[in-house]
Amino acid sequence: MTATDDVELDLLEQCRSGDRNAFRALIAFWGDPALRLAATLTGDDGRARDALAEALIDCWRALPSGHSDTPFRPYLLDLVARAALARGSAAGTGTLERCLDMLEPDARAAAVLHGQADLRARDIARAQQRSAITTMLELRRAMRSLQTCLGSQPDGALRSASSDAHLERSFFDDFLARALEDTWIIEVRRIVQRPLHDAWGVLTDPTALPAWVAASGAHVR
């Protein structure tokens, strides 16, 4: 295990305890490759950023139930790929885009995860909770299809695709910060922003207790 792995595991543990600054640090580290992946699969910067934001929010919400030994990069990039595929194919005019569109969605995701993000078949299978053999065979077929379509090895084309995609430092604050707020914080803000007598009535009303319990329960989950 490298020093980088140790730092990542430490950040993940902090994220699981609700530390959004730790999550911001993870995004700063993996944001660019994740955005490149989404841009390659969608062919559109706006859709790529929407897919990335959705995947990161899903990742944050799932982290408390995750396991410390689960590799984070394959897991995150697979979430990004799924969110990108849900927004349709690239439908572009470039040769690589047209060749990728010929593949089934799962094969398209596997090809980009392998060729661009340099994930091994077993890492992809683990992230997708699929059989390693099934994923390996699917990946081999996808790469052969791309090679036939491109007329050359697809690895170089995949690695250079969307190379100009870059995640701004403001992405976290602009697209994620509010969505990552804990449910109970949102509930407190909603009450505090009400007129004083209304807010006091809610805080002292015993019938409001179930809502507070539900909000705190969502926070714990």
Q: Where are the domains of the chain?
A: 3-176, 183-220
Residue 203: CB partners within 8 Å, gap ≥ 6? Answer: 191
Whole-number Å distance between alpha carbons of 75 and 48:
17
3-176 fold = Rna Polymerase Sigma Factor; Chain: A (1.10.1740)
Which pLDDT tens digit goes with each residue over 74-95? 999 999 999 999 987 766 557 8
Which pLDDT tens digit goes with each residue over 149-190? 999 999 999 999 988 889 888 888 888 887 776 544 545 555
Q: How many CB atoms lie within 10 A of CB 16?
A: 16
Output the pTM of the full model: 0.76
Confidence of residue 215 (pLDDT cuts 50, 70, 90): very low
